[in-house]
A and B are shown apart, each in its own frame.
Chain A
Amino acid sequence: MDADLTWLDDPETFRVNQVPAHSDHRGYATVAEADQQHSSLVQSLDGPWQFAFAKDPMHRPRDFYQPDTDRSTFHDIEVPGHIELAGYGQIHYINTAYPWEGKHYRRPAYAMGAEKRERGMFSTDPENTVGAYVKHFELNQTLVNHRIAIEFDGVEQAMFVWLNGQFVGYAEDSFSRSEFDLTPYIHPGDNLLAVEVFKHSTAAFLEDQDMFRFSGIFRSVRLVAKPALHVEDLTIRATVDGTLKHGHLQVETTLSALHHVTGHMRLQLLNAENESIWSQDQALARTVTVQTTVAAPRLWSHQDPYLYRLQIELFDDHDQLVEVVPYVVGFRRLVLQNRVMILNGQRLIINGVNRHEWDAHRGRAVTLADMHSDMQVFHKYHINAVRTCHYPDQVAWYTLCDRNGIYMMAENNLETHGTWQKMGVVEPSYNVPGSLPQWQAAVLDRARSNYQMFKNHPAILFWSLGNESYAGDDIAAMDRYYHDADPTRLTHYEGVCRNRAYEDRISDMESMMYDPPAAIAAYLENDPQKPFINCEYMHDMGNSLGGMASYDALIDRYPMYQGGFIWDFIDQALWCQDEVTGNQVLRYGGDFDDRHSDYEFSGDGLLFADRTPKPALQEVSYYYGRRD
């Protein structure tokens, strides 16, 4: 198959030749590697790549991926990173309206009629910037002779991939991992990986988050070797019954083999003291499902984020260890009881924040140090929950939440408010995804990627269908997907309040953003059918966060009021050199001649953009601390 640029225009083409989404577990060659969480089966491709920038698809270097192409004009660029922060392409911040506002008249394909295909919208877009990336690599010895996959953790917003001149695949969904099988294309010795990144595609309509609009390979890239026996997918269900005394563990694995799936698997459950409390050997098969009971498991919660560890070892017919897969296990029980969300027998109170990934030097290409720093802030100020607004975060953040007992509302990558909210008015005349069949597969894929990748994280209590995308059959299909896939968690969708026709089909909780306390009380006084969560509240823009007492008071008055997520965790601004003084200063929307802009509207954090705390944090600490 050849790459086809018009995929950019087609909402029904969003993944080509990608490996199906699966659990984010990691395979190791030995138990020692697993203990150190350093896999010899992984080869990072982060670091310098070669790069050429084009202002639009017509000016892009067309054959740059061919091994014999002259790339002497290419420059170095650092991966991961945003193209705009590397000095190519204009930095732009805009909230609701689409980034082409006032520059191009656009309606999403099919939104104005089945015949309105809108071909050429992005493939011939004169402002659709293109990044041509190449990376030479040789496989590390430890990867040689294995099947090789490549994982892109985040590429914004559409990419084509080639290896050694051969087309590998295509991906959209900037914030979900895209994985391709490189085995058929890989050479001994030098390999030439080429990635062509387009700033816009039909995915742009689905990724209208209130944020700086960037492009590029902004998260890590790595090669992953699959040994002769490999755990392709893993589903862990660690539950406890209503008495909270009888734990149940179910582990389902899907395996692949270089030749044949034969041999045996050893599963072990270890406690935090590294003592094995259960183990079982099992003959290998394509899928293996194992269950066991665990008496009086120590439950996972914010107060006590106790984690067991599952260790899966795959042995071949000669009893040689081939692959080790460890994964954390947290036993817990989340149920709706009398319309109240109950975790481990206790009413759940969410003392949460919305968190965009942000680093004032690096944009959304956040570092592990950023995440550790954020987690310290959560602890210090009694924040117990996070909504991954409005896209999946880097994997490491979910692991940190598991370990630190932070409840997660795991949101898939979706926001379309520009198609239905215009100058603050609900006006869904060209809303996507709506009930358009041509857009349903794309948004379902986003839900699937989110669920499949993160399904084993104990920290996740809720799947969130995205943000501010109105409501229709497509959103309802996402809700159904999450429920069909996962009986152990609840779904959330803010748009439940926007189109009541769908309220029974799109969220297990009533969710509003920025409702005043009195309006929430009115909902809770009038025979509420679902528990209430503020998916966004206490808009901490500038000097704000007054009046939190009124929200806090609802907790004692209404059992079905279960807290919320403050908007938001950190200001989005960028360190720049002042054009007058030369000093380093923080700049925001409009400071790059970017128009239309929403200027300082991205400064709503509990932290300033440089991660120093805003004064209001002590207020959050007080009210959240009372409920901690």
Chain B
Amino acid sequence: MDAGTKLKLVYGDVTLGVSGSNFRYLFAYDRGGLESLVQNGKEWLYRVPQPAFWRATTDNDRGNGFSLKSAQWLGADLFSACTAIAVKVDGHAIELPIAPVNNQYSAIETAQSVDVQFTYTTPTVPSTTVTISYHVGADGQLVVRSRYRGVAGLPELPAFGIRLCTPTLATGFDYQGLSGETYPDRMAGGVAGTYHVAGLPVTPYMVPQECGMHMATQWLRVTRETTLNNADTDTSPFELTIRQDQSPFAFSCLPYTPSELENATHIEELPVARRTVLTIFGAVRGVGGIDSWGADVEAPYHIASDEDHEVSVIIEGPVASPRG
């Protein structure tokens, strides 16, 4: 096989570097996740992706006390720690290649595929685990999969997904899915199609809250024009494309984390928008609507905490067509 189609691996002391044509990914053992996702010279990650458990309290959540009941998940959203890392090369598990294990490797290491799995343990009582695994193919395609392990005794989940944060603001995004802002119990009116969203609009609810969900999405392409790289003066648009794996996914693409939204009582209190917070959801709780002072979200739209949940998406490699 042509070496050019293989991944180059760098078994560092702190990271596992995986690169190929126009991409380089760094999996950081100390940070507990994918630290760097560079395609065509542009960095896409500000910090390592994290499991997402929280949604900024909606008015209905406040009214029916859901935030109180599920408050542990806010802590989990902020403070879950990476507690295990596993690596496979060409499908075979290897001993975690940190020093001195990595002394066995050389400057010229290649593979057809690499799998890295991070396990996060929640600070809930009882605790549970979430894995985020990355499968890197030779063309730079990343299959990202997250699994939540259900345990008894925890409150229902406000959300479950993977949260990625980019170093700078996106100028907008395109997706194929449903029009507008949709939730599992409010998506009948969403019209299937391909949509462009300019900027990163925060739905201006009077009190900032969970917003911007897009259910049943086939693909998503986020566009940026700026980086934090001082040596990069190029301001032409560049893109990252995410496609469904086994089934359509839900996402929100906002300039704020749930905690930032949670803190504000008015839209003008939100901080200056600096980054793109892209969350890929494996489970979305409905918003409800019977009333705003006690009525629960209808039962089918809850997220059980004692059942497993899973989400997987494909981050396209640098040369793939977005609509491929």
A binds B: yes
Q: Write the nearest CB–CB distance from B227 to chain A, whole angstroms.
A: 28
Those of A569-617 within 8 Å (CB) of chain B: 571, 573, 578, 581, 583, 585-588, 591, 600-601, 603-604, 608-609, 612, 614-616
Closest to B298 in A: A547
Asked whether A263 is an interface residue with its Cβ less than 8 Å from the other chain, the reply is no
A542-B59, A548-B186 given; A514·B207 CB < 8 A:
no
* Contact partners of A542 in chain B: CB under 8 A: 58-60, 205-207, 209, 292
Digitize B177-206: 1 where CB-to-A-CB distance is under 8 Å, 0 elsewhere. Answer: 001111111111111000000000001111
**Cβ of B291 and Cβ of A539 under 8 Å apart?**
yes
Asked whether A183 is an interface residue with its Cβ less than 8 Å from the other chain, the reply is no
> Apart from A541-B63, A543-B287, A581-B268, what 18 extra A-B contacts exist at CB < 8 Å?
A424-B293, A537-B290, A539-B292, A541-B59, A543-B58, A544-B59, A546-B183, A546-B297, A547-B185, A547-B289, A547-B298, A586-B204, A600-B206, A608-B204, A609-B206, A616-B181, A619-B189, A620-B189
Residue among A538, A540, A547, A618 facing the most chain B CB atoms (10 A cut-off): A547
Residue among B187, B189, B291 facing the most chain A CB atoms (10 A cut-off): B189
Q: How far is the CA of A402 from the CA of B149 in the complex (A)?
A: 58
A544-B59, A585-B268 given; A600·B207 CB < 8 A:
yes
Asked whether A114 is an interface residue with its Cβ less than 8 Å from the other chain, the reply is no
Asked whether A549 is an interface residue with its Cβ less than 8 Å from the other chain, the reply is yes
* Contact partners of B186 in chain A: CB under 8 A: 545-548, 616, 619
* Contact partners of B287 in chain A: CB under 8 A: 543-546
Asked whether B139 is an interface residue with its Cβ less than 8 Å from the other chain, the reply is no
**Cβ of A546 and Cβ of B298 under 8 Å apart?**
yes
**Cβ of B267 and Cβ of A585 under 8 Å apart?**
yes
Q: How far is the CA of A621 from the CA of B298 in the complex (A)?
A: 21
Closest to A619 in B: B189
* Contact partners of B209 in chain A: CB under 8 A: 542-543
Which residues of B are interface residues toward A (Cβ below 8 A)? 58-60, 63, 179-191, 203-207, 209-211, 265-268, 286-293, 295, 297-298, 301
Q: How far is the CA of A517 from the CA of B181 in the complex (A)?
A: 24
Asked whether A74 is an interface residue with its Cβ less than 8 Å from the other chain, the reply is no
Residue among A537, A583, A616 facing the most chain B CB atoms (10 A cut-off): A616
Closest to B294 in A: A424
Chain B interface, DSSP helix/strand/loop, else mixed: loop
Counting chain A residues whose Cβ lies within 8 A of the other chain, the interface size class is: 35 or more
**Cβ of B289 and Cβ of A545 under 8 Å apart?**
yes
Which residues of A are interface residues toward B (Cβ below 8 A)? 424, 514, 516-517, 537-550, 571, 573, 578, 581, 583, 585-588, 591, 600-601, 603-604, 608-609, 612, 614-616, 618-623
**Cβ of A516 and Cβ of B188 under 8 Å apart?**
no
**Cβ of B295 and Cβ of A516 under 8 Å apart?**
yes
**Cβ of B289 and Cβ of A544 under 8 Å apart?**
yes
Q: Write the nearest CB–CB distance from A156 to chain B, whole angstroms.
A: 24
Q: How far is the CA of A458 from the CA of B298 in the complex (A)?
A: 39
* A-B contacts, 24 listed (Cβ < 8 Å): A424-B293, A514-B295, A516-B295, A538-B290, A539-B290, A541-B63, A543-B58, A544-B288, A544-B292, A546-B185, A547-B186, A547-B288, A547-B290, A547-B298, A578-B268, A603-B205, A603-B207, A614-B203, A615-B180, A616-B181, A618-B180, A619-B189, A621-B189, A622-B189
Closest to B178 in A: A618
Name the one of A517, A583, A619, A622 contacting B268, with C-beta atoms under 8 angstroms.
A583
Q: Write the nearest CB–CB distance from A88 to chain B, whole angstroms.
A: 25
Closest to B285 in A: A546
A516-B290, A623-B189 given; A543·B210 CB < 8 A:
yes
**Cβ of B267 and Cβ of A603 under 8 Å apart?**
no
**Cβ of A618 and Cβ of B190 under 8 Å apart?**
yes
* Contact partners of A623 in chain B: CB under 8 A: 188-189
Q: How far is the CA of A544 from the CA of B169 in the complex (A)?
A: 28
Q: Write the nearest CB–CB distance from A511 to chain B, whole angstroms.
A: 16
Q: How far is the CA of A424 from the CA of B63 in the complex (A)?
A: 12
Q: How far is the CA of A586 from the CA of B264 in the complex (A)?
A: 14
* Contact partners of A541 in chain B: CB under 8 A: 59-60, 63, 292
* Contact partners of A578 in chain B: CB under 8 A: 268
Q: How far is the CA of A546 from the CA of B183 in the complex (A)?
A: 8
Q: How far is the CA of A618 from the CA of B178 in the complex (A)?
A: 11
Q: Write the nearest CB–CB distance from B208 to chain A, whole angstroms.
A: 9
Q: How far is the CA of A612 from the CA of B267 in the complex (A)?
A: 15
Closest to B297 in A: A546
* Contact partners of B292 in chain A: CB under 8 A: 539, 541-542, 544, 601, 604
Q: How far is the CA of A509 from the CA of B156 in the complex (A)?
A: 39
* Contact partners of B290 in chain A: CB under 8 A: 514, 516-517, 537-539, 547
Closest to A536 in B: B291
